A and B are shown apart, each in its own frame.
Chain A
């Protein structure tokens, strides 16, 4: 899976120059601007701290000796406020002691005046690379555990063609998108496709499953926190909004966002600014939001669990996904796509599917949609070795008759014992009288199946040595069984 990482926020990197000598500041600023940087200047360490919280520079160049707050004290203070911002200390009087202390304080580089411009260029470049690497590390840490769905946009059914058309239309804009569909229909895949086709494709795609984050952690995960914002916040952490800056934030199971946080989400969407937990200043962000849900959000609004204003802000563009059973035309293409993929992964050359297996896959109802199809084929590829995938490599319940035509119709009022009998005999018929596979599909032992069939045959009581190994046909109440009562 290609890793989405972002360069630093601005196209022009921001440099903060801190020097109490006005002429030094000015000439530095002029040269750096000429080199394409955005430059802020201040002559005071305290002012510098304020500017860092307000403007979030990418690199800081600071003089060592300054009134009130010197370069090293500034670096110390920045470790709390903005630990991943590299600080370059320049000094007129560079001693070994000062350099060692500076390194201990965590400065990026310590250089003496007069500074060679060519060297300054290289140092700045390295500092920005470090800053970017730190940012990428944070993105990657957050993405760790998010596994590739392994699903491409595959399908030629009218339903899928319509979805592809919608994706192509909405991708170039910044419009918020809501993707709806049953679980496993590929909502994240569609969100990724929108991102990949958008001008944001080189920026991060951050996927958050809102139902997987405990409510108490959601605010911190989404908005980030400063060090010391709460017990256990031992270092600053960027939230998902900030990590997605410039790119796309995918909010899966959006209906699970706690109602008390929804107003905060709405404010970020409207103002494009946020404040980390414990943060002193607001941070500008530029994020496109794609949400997904298998809930009916309108029902959630009616029941007071979802804000209507947030719904309208998120649902600028709607992409509905059909369940797989409604686009069966796509199943052969998806099957081929997954088999090819798993074959490549396992270094196998697969012989394809037998006609029987193809029939089973095509007729099955696929309640778990594409995800279930993918998992089924991954398992089958493992089981089949180098042979063609056959019915025996598919889950037994699928072969029992997962197709729409194979449902057992049972009239109301039929005694439970009769329902069981009908079900067992029907299953046996669909398994071509194979008792071992039928027992496996029904989740009972083969001996129990034999016992039941013996009774259904009307041949009287079972042989004495053939004891029941379960109580599945003993429908007396538990207390009666315990007392031995009839």
Chain B
């Protein structure tokens, strides 16, 4: 959080929790591309050692190494943005992509199929210092409510506002796990300048909707 921001102890605690989880996820998610890079390096070394003809196999491994480096870089960037969001442009599409990148591991661990619709970049009018945390908490709440099921994410315009909707379907919802994130979403929505509507009735699919004004 940038200097000069005054945040409540509750927001600070929630932020610390989020960063801790993101750090854990980063350690895990970063290892997959590193692991793949090590394997491709080995294949590349064996290809060269065995003097195999043709550049295609070697080029493929080199490309895989580039992809791996790109993936690690994106993860580090996402974590860096989460750690100091004040400089970010307020973009709801980028925020949800960041949340997915950082917490995709949590989705796999909870056996949640995540499906997203909408543009990758949707600028909104919001305080970037809170938007990043808000979207991450909303995503984690959606995952907990969609355990062993599906989480549908839709980003789109709704008249004068831009809407981010998360709908958790099927499976075995973990309401206890979702509760602290829902609490954070409620607290941060007003700080970020978003309107929150939620439908959390036990019998129906859980729905969280955040709407933002278009940028001026």
Contacts and interface: CB of A to CB of B under 8 A. Distances in A.
Interface stretch (B37-45, B117-125, B134-142, B155-163): B37-45
Interface residues of A, number: 24
B32 A93 contact: no
Nearest to B41: A117
A411 B82 CA distance: 115
B108 A114 contact: no
B43 A114 contact: no
B32 A30 contact: no
B72 to A, nearest CB: 11
A31 B32 contact: no
B38 A114 contact: yes
Contacts of A30: 39, 43
Interface stretch (A62-70, A274-282, A449-457): A62-70
A446 interface: no
Given A23-B64, A65-B105, A67-B108, A34 B35 contact: no
In this complex, the member of A27, A70, A117 whose beta carbon has the largest number of chain B beta carbons within 10 angstroms is: A27
A113 interface: yes
Given A92-B29, A92-B35, A115-B35, A20 B43 contact: no
Interface in A205-221: none
Given A65-B105, A67-B108, A114-B34, A92 B28 contact: yes
A110 to B, nearest CB: 14
A34 B109 contact: no
Given A34-B43, A34-B46, A65-B28, A114 B35 contact: yes
A28 B27 contact: no
A113 B34 CA distance: 8
A40 interface: no
Contact of A20 (B37, B39, B46, B108): B108
Interface in A68-91: 68, 70, 90-91
Contacts of A31: 39, 42-43
B24 interface: yes
A440 interface: no
Contacts of A433: none
Q: Could you tell me the dominant secondary structure of chain B's interface residues?
A: helix
A345 interface: no
A101 interface: no
Contact of A67 (B24, B36, B111): B111
Interface string B179-203: 0000000000000000000000000
A24 interface: yes
A116 B111 contact: no
In this complex, the member of B30, B39, B111 whose beta carbon has the largest number of chain A beta carbons within 10 angstroms is: B39
A476 B68 CA distance: 105
Contacts of A114: 31, 34-35, 37-38
Contact of B38 (A20, A66, A91, A117): A117
A372 interface: no
A21 B43 contact: no
A112 interface: yes
Interface in B108-153: 108-109, 111-113, 148
Nearest to B110: A67
Interface string A140-162: 00000000000000000000000
A415 B27 CA distance: 103
A114 B40 CA distance: 12
Nearest to B25: A93
Given A67-B113, A68-B148, A113-B34, 16 more contacts: A21-B32, A23-B36, A24-B32, A24-B35, A24-B39, A27-B40, A28-B39, A65-B109, A67-B112, A91-B28, A92-B29, A93-B31, A114-B31, A114-B35, A114-B38, A117-B39
Interface of A: 20-21, 23-24, 27-28, 30-31, 34, 65-68, 70, 90-93, 112-117
11 contacts: A23-B64, A24-B39, A27-B39, A31-B39, A34-B46, A65-B109, A93-B31, A113-B34, A114-B34, A114-B37, A117-B42
Q: Which 4 A-B pairs have the closest CB atoms?
A: A92-B31, A113-B35, A114-B35, A92-B28
